[in-house]
Chain A
Amino acid sequence: MPDSNPVIIESGGAGQPFNYAVGLHGSLFLQELRDNRRFMAVRCPRCGKVYIPPRRVCGACFVEMDDFVEVGPQGTIGTFTILRYAFIDPETGEQKPVPYGYGFIRLDGADTLFQHYIDIQDESKLVIGARVEPVFADARKGTVKDIEYFTIID
């Protein structure tokens, strides 16, 4: 009979590290988030679209952008889902905290949507258009985790 048990090859504690540069636009966003709890977006000089997170080039117009604008911190639910199936987050090695609210937030003043957790103590409140605001972490490091989640404002 063939042996159906897989042979395990383990890398022990060795990881495969990556060091990503976020660029000047990304850096400005993360610094303002960390230091001042502000959301910085950028506006295209040609089409006027306000992008969050901010980036150097408006893809549709293919022009560079440096007109930074503050958006939010409040916003509305642009769209969402409630994630219910359990899976291991490959970024952390831990199971995701299901069920969780998965939000695409339209921060006031922004045209693109910002992804983050939405608190789902009351699932019936998760509707497109509901007003939300961020809950910030006390200790912030300059990542999107400086926001813990968004909560629905009645």
Chain B
Amino acid sequence: MGKQRVAIVGTGQTYHKSHRPDVNGQELINEAVQAALADADLTIGQIDAIVIGNMDHFEGINYVDCWSVDGSGGVMKPIIKLTTGGTTGSTLAIGGYHMVASGLFDRVLVIGWEKNSESDTTGAITTAFDPVWDRLVFAGAISGLAAEAQAYMAKYGATDRDGARVSVRDRRHACNNPHTQLRKAVTIEEVLASPMLADPIHLLDVCPRTDGACAVIMAGERLAEKITATPDWIWATANRHTYTYLGDANFGRLDSMAAASREIYQKTGIREPAKEIGVIELYQPYSFAGIMWIEDLGLAEYGMGAEFIWSGATDMGGEIPINPSGGVIACNPIGATGLIRCAEAALQVMGKAGDRQVPDVDLALSTGFGGCFWSDILLHGRRKPDF
């Protein structure tokens, strides 16, 4: 474990939209930072270091850590840029946690952001993949996701309807979240009638493109309890990377999430995650992932994910609500998205989640996913951990 315990003491997000033509990237970042500082009642002068990231390809500006100092508050502060594709936001959270846990920094500002409106999303994502071996057939992020869903469906008999039920859940949850982009519920029939993008994924099964920023402030334990009466303690983090070529993946099982979650549960003594965890903000870029990856998280047996979803266990009021914020299907500013999962889990633990609050949250999970099947996980808790 680290040299000191770490807690999230404040969060801030923009009101995410498909297009923010009124601000450039730095100004968008500044909105989230000001909100987080206000939430924690801190000034930028009290921040020791900044961890910032986005998925560079989307804006085509590769020194965003330097380029954005006016907006981030980072002028003449130590700044580290982290950028790991879809997991950028959750990697940022883990990186910020590491910096404070090390004892070298006491108050770290973590910033994730994206202006997806500023470029061609598919073209940009293509540059994340091997130019010689992976780009011939490639069709953007949906490529591997559709192939994964096909493999799972062939093995376990899941259907379009099972995927659609997940979309319905998240889009309904999103109606409670003033920050999210899409705030209109959908029905199963609407999802199945929406255009098919890549079999079996319909338009309403996947995330939109979004401009948005999120900022989270992490503090060491001595300061955290002075800054806020309701710190969100980081109990554990884990991540697993994988890739080389897309054809190397084990389609139909998210091995990286299974391995990362086992590490989290082992470190913290969790034996029955569905019972012991109060809420999950799952980085779920499309609906079928909500069937498959809950099995890799150990919430349901292999092949039983659809039944778990249909039982209502993951709806608000269920045994383990997933994505009270509406999740990624309602909002996806890619570099921010993983950090928004972290911030939303923090809001749940801190009791600040407003209309989307799950009552009495003790432990919360937030995750990140990258399009080549890697995973980040953070476990948050209301009680200070004794390790």
Contacts and interface: CB of A to CB of B under 8 A. Distances in A.
B23 interface: no
A91 B139 contact: no
Interface stretch (A18-26, A31-39, A65-73, A133-141): A18-26
B154 to A, nearest CB: 5
A85 B134 contact: no
A113 B196 CA distance: 25
Contact of A81 (B122, B126, B136, B147): B147
Interface string B213-243: 0000000000000000000000000000000
A84 B132 contact: no
28 contacts: A20-B131, A79-B154, A80-B150, A81-B142, A81-B200, A82-B199, A85-B197, A85-B198, A87-B122, A90-B122, A90-B126, A102-B139, A102-B143, A104-B147, A104-B247, A112-B248, A113-B249, A113-B251, A114-B247, A115-B136, A115-B137, A115-B246, A117-B137, A128-B150, A143-B132, A144-B132, A144-B133, A144-B136
Contacts of B354: none
B300 to A, nearest CB: 22
Contact of A145 (B122, B127, B136, B246): B136
Interface of B: 21, 120, 122-123, 126-127, 131-140, 142-143, 146-148, 150-151, 154, 195-201, 244-249, 251-252
Given A53-B245, A85-B195, A79 B133 contact: no
A81 B147 CA distance: 6
A95 B123 CA distance: 12
Given A79-B251, A81-B150, A90 B198 contact: no
Nearest to B143: A102
A87 B126 CA distance: 12
B222 to A, nearest CB: 41
B40 to A, nearest CB: 35
B136 A116 contact: yes
Given A85-B195, A91-B126, 15 more contacts: A20-B131, A51-B248, A79-B148, A81-B142, A81-B147, A83-B197, A83-B198, A84-B196, A84-B199, A102-B198, A104-B247, A113-B251, A115-B133, A115-B137, A117-B137
A59 interface: yes
